């Protein structure tokens, strides 16, 4: 299914409607860049660890998103992953603030594994107003707005309502940190989950998710 805005989250209007529409447009535009670059050779660098990667496309996409947003909303603030990695301060103030991960799943992107996304959030008064995530290769547009629910390509999303862990599928992530204390905590938590005897488990590095990792 192609990305669609035919859902209440996209059409209900509101004080930040113009911001929301711009976020969707830029996420789709960035997705085109990422899809094209996925199969190309990349210049890869590391940030906090050998598992925390960055490419020239990360920076290109982030610069594109921020520059277009600044043209429309010059007074807004930004918290962006690559700028933060370069030393920019990450301070969430009451001002309208964009929170950007240009390539969510950079490790996948580097290895040409197609689970990658563009993630854009928007906060006002230190509360999130909406989020837009575009899964670039599957062309899935996820949108969520405060008080209006979440959607994927126009279809409303909802939790299953299952409260019994033994009847659930458990997904978790490792993250880029590999220091002994972090690994010990992660493995301890995994052991507790395994003892819970869920239906199934998906343990993977965060970068293989596409909706919550670098």
pTM: 0.78
Q: CB count, 10 Å around CB of 172?
A: 14
- What pLDDT, in 10s, does the model give residues 159-200? 888 888 888 888 777 777 778 898 898 888 888 888 878 887
CA angle 212, 209, 162 (to 5 degrees): 85
Q: CB count, 10 Å around CB of 123?
A: 21
Residues in binding site = 81, 101, 103-104
Find residue 172's DSSP bridge partners.
Answer: 203
Q: Fold for 16-156, please state it.
A: Fructose-1,6-Bisphosphatase; Chain A, domain 1 (3.30.540)
Residues of the chain with pLDDT > 90, as a percent, come to: 43
Q: Of 209, 26, 16, give the one whose Cα is nearest residue 96.
A: 16
Domain ranges in the chain are 16-156, 165-204
Least confident of 21-35, 38-52, 110-124, 169-183: 38-52
Residues in binding site for Mg(2+) = 81, 101, 103-104
Length of the chain in terms of residues written: 214
**Residue 207 gets which letter from DSSP?**
G
User: CA distances (Å), 132 to each of 4, 50, 127, 138, in order?
Assistant: 12, 28, 15, 15
- What pLDDT, in 10s, does the model give residues 8-20? 444 455 779 999 9
Q: Which residue has the tokens 């008064």?
A: 125
Output Rg (C-alpha) for the chain, integer angstroms: 18
Q: Which of 10-24, 63-77, 104-118 reaches the highest mean pLDDT?
A: 63-77
């Amino acid at each position: 299914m192609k990305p669609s805005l035919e859902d209440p989250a996209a059409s209900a209007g509101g004080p930040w409607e113009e911001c929301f529409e711009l976020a969707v447009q830029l996420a789709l535009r960035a997705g085109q860049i990422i899809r094209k670059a996925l199969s190309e050779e990349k210049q890869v660098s590391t940030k906090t660890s050998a598992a925390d990667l960055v490419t020239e496309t990360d920076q290109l996409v982030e610069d594109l998103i921020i520059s277009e947003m600044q043209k429309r909303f010059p007074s807004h603030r930004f918290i962006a992953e690559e700028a933060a990695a370069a030393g920019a301060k990450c301070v969430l103030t009451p001002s309208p603030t964009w929170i950007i991960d240009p390539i969510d799943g950079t490790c996948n992107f580097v290895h040409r594994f197609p689970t990658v996304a563009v993630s854009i959030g928007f906060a006002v008064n230190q509360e999130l107003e909406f989020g837009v995530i575009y899964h670039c290769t599957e062309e899935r547009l996820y949108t969520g707005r405060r008080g209006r629910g979440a959607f994927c390509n126009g279809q409303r999303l909802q939790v299953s309502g299952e409260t019994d862990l033994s009847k659930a599928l458990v997904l978790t992530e490792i993250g880029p940190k590999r220091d002994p204390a972090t690994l010990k905590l992660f493995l301890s938590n995994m052991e507790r989950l395994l003892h819970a005897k869920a239906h199934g488990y998906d343990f993977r590095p965060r970068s293989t998710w596409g909706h919550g990792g670098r």
